[in-house]
Amino acid sequence: MMMHAVGARSVSRDLGGWRDDAGRRPAYRALADGIRLLVHDGRIPLGAALPGERELAGELQVSRTTVTTAYSVLREEGFLSSRQGSRSTVTMPAAPPRAPAVGSARRPEAGDVVDLSYAAMVAPVLEVQEAYSAALQALPPFLDTHGMEPHGIAVLREAIAARYCARGLETTPAQIMVTSGAQHAFRLLLGVLTAPGERVLVDHPTYPNALAAVRRVGGRPVPVPVRPEGGASRAWDLGGIRSAARQTAAGMAYLIPDFHNPTGLCLDDAGRAELARIARETRMTLVVDETMVDVWLDAPPPAPVAAHGRGLSEVVTIGSVSKSHWGGLRVGWIRAEPELIGRLVGSRSASDLGTPVMDQLAAVHLLDAGDGPVEARREILRAQRAVLLDELAARLPDWVPTVGTGGMSLWLRMPAPVSTALAATAPSHGVVLAAGPRFGVEGAFERYIRLPYARPADELRRAVAGVAAAYDALGVTVDPAEPALVV
């Protein structure tokens, strides 16, 4: 098998300031923590061979004993496996737990750890069960087909189109393709619209999996700042988007104007009109990710960006039921001009043959169910957001939250650039976090951390206590003469 070896220089670079907290932890511990984080981050892939101990010690300018001990710790924890005479390779601890038979399938044990590395809620139980019951009743006619539906079943494309119409954006089913979630939608679009080496504009910060998708197809993410400090209406640097589009000749931009992940900010109507103008002028395809559009908390969003670019093939919208209903369905979609939809459907068989019929039927039911269940989710999120803000104000008063008008997370500015170290330390305090730099390129956002409020209040309270303890353990001291913030 092709074995991927990671070089000492690359590990050293990715580790960044792993010893910034020198003195508080032994060096081997800091090194082990740093490497573990790189594994969790995906920056060191599973299966990769780590550098030899002597080589890494030289690169990091530490003693070989430090590296040997760090590797031993990781081996003990199950993160490294070594065979006689060969280099240590990265693994994941422990085989997955044996689950009981289907009927008694249990919720995966979370232990006492609160996982805040993702921003996603549990299912609205009754609605989802009802949707699948309805789907089962609607299934028989499809059982008389081979079941592969790369375009998506007509009844779901109609339901999705009807929702756009209800939001004031005329849409036909021919403008809709059903996908296995919004991430899959973005990946399909990248496959059809970009070539390796091409630039893709992204919000900065942005959704980490979008960055991963751009990189996977060989694209180059070009960050354009979303600045919480400017206030919601001025957070997007539209002039920056326009000039980046011109200067880099990017063929595509990926933007989240509706309750942006991670900040929760929402672009106003004038900004949306301007985005559509930029697309028209530059011929750059705007991929507008509306995954969070239903998750408004304080005020509903303005009309879709596509409403400002009617008939404009450069404005493409993607959506999903994952945030408004449940991530376990894996149903999303693309709204685009029929010609692009045709190309996407035609190209899909190179990667998968369609989204399961059953989940498509369940999605029809959820979309037709009206706003009630979604409003119930918003109500839960409002309450949880309030709890998170209160807990943070009490325990970490010098962290500055961006409070957007929707979404599922806060984006917090910390007094010091310790996000990676914090994420590395947090699990031993009972919390899993995604470090700020995962939301950016080139190591940005070491001063930032995303804290989702998608989990129940009691977990959020435990999580903030854990985060505060982890932060304390870092022993951050803030220079009072610290310069004004730069994102």
What residues between 278 and 307 interact with its own copies by CB under 8 A?
283, 285
Q: Is 112 a binder of its own copies (CB under 8 A)? A: no
- 3-state SS assignment for residue 203: strand
- Compute the distance between CA of residue 30 and CA of residue 33 in angstroms, rounded to an integer: 5
Contact between residue 156 and residue 335 where contact means Cβ atoms under 8 Å apart = no
CB of 257 to its own copies, least distance (A): 20
Contact between residue 241 and residue 235 where contact means Cβ atoms under 8 Å apart = no
CA dihedral 368, 373, 378, 379 (to 10 degrees): 150
- Binding pattern for the stretch 231-250 against its own copies, x by CB under 8 A and - elsewhere: --------------------
Query: Residue 192: which of 313, 363, 357 has the closest Cα?
Result: 313
Q: Is 24 a binder of its own copies (CB under 8 A)? A: no
Indicate which single residue of 51, 181, 302, 437 sits in contact with its own copies (rule: CB under 8 A): 181
- Binding pattern for the stretch 310-329 against its own copies, x by CB under 8 A and - elsewhere: ---xx-------x---xxxx
Q: What CA–CA distances, in Å, run from 362 to 76, 127, 139?
A: 45, 10, 10
State the burial class of residue 384 (Cβ atoms within 10 Å of its Cβ: 0-12, 13-18, 19+). Answer: buried
Q: Is 26 a binder of its own copies (CB under 8 A)? A: no
Of 57-65, 125-133, 435-443, 461-469, the segment contacting its own copies by CB under 8 A is 125-133
Q: Is 484 a binder of its own copies (CB under 8 A)? A: no
Indicate which single residue of 85, 140, 311, 483 sits in contact with its own copies (rule: CB under 8 A): 140
Of 20-28, 361-369, 377-385, 431-439, the segment contacting its own copies by CB under 8 A is 361-369
Please list every residue from 89 through 108 that binds its own copies, using CB under 8 A: 89, 91-108
Q: Is 163 left (phi over 0), alpha (psi -120 to 50) or beta?
A: alpha
Q: Is 138 a binder of its own copies (CB under 8 A)? A: yes
CB of 399 to its own copies, least distance (A): 25
Indicate which single residue of 20, 21, 55, 158 sits in contact with its own copies (rule: CB under 8 A): 158
Please list every residue from 386 through 405 that binds its own copies, using CB under 8 A: none
Q: What CA–CA distances, in Å, run from 243 to 38, 388, 440?
A: 34, 38, 20
Q: Which is nearer to its own copies, 143 or 484 (CB)?
A: 143
The residues facing 89 across adjacent strands are 49, 81
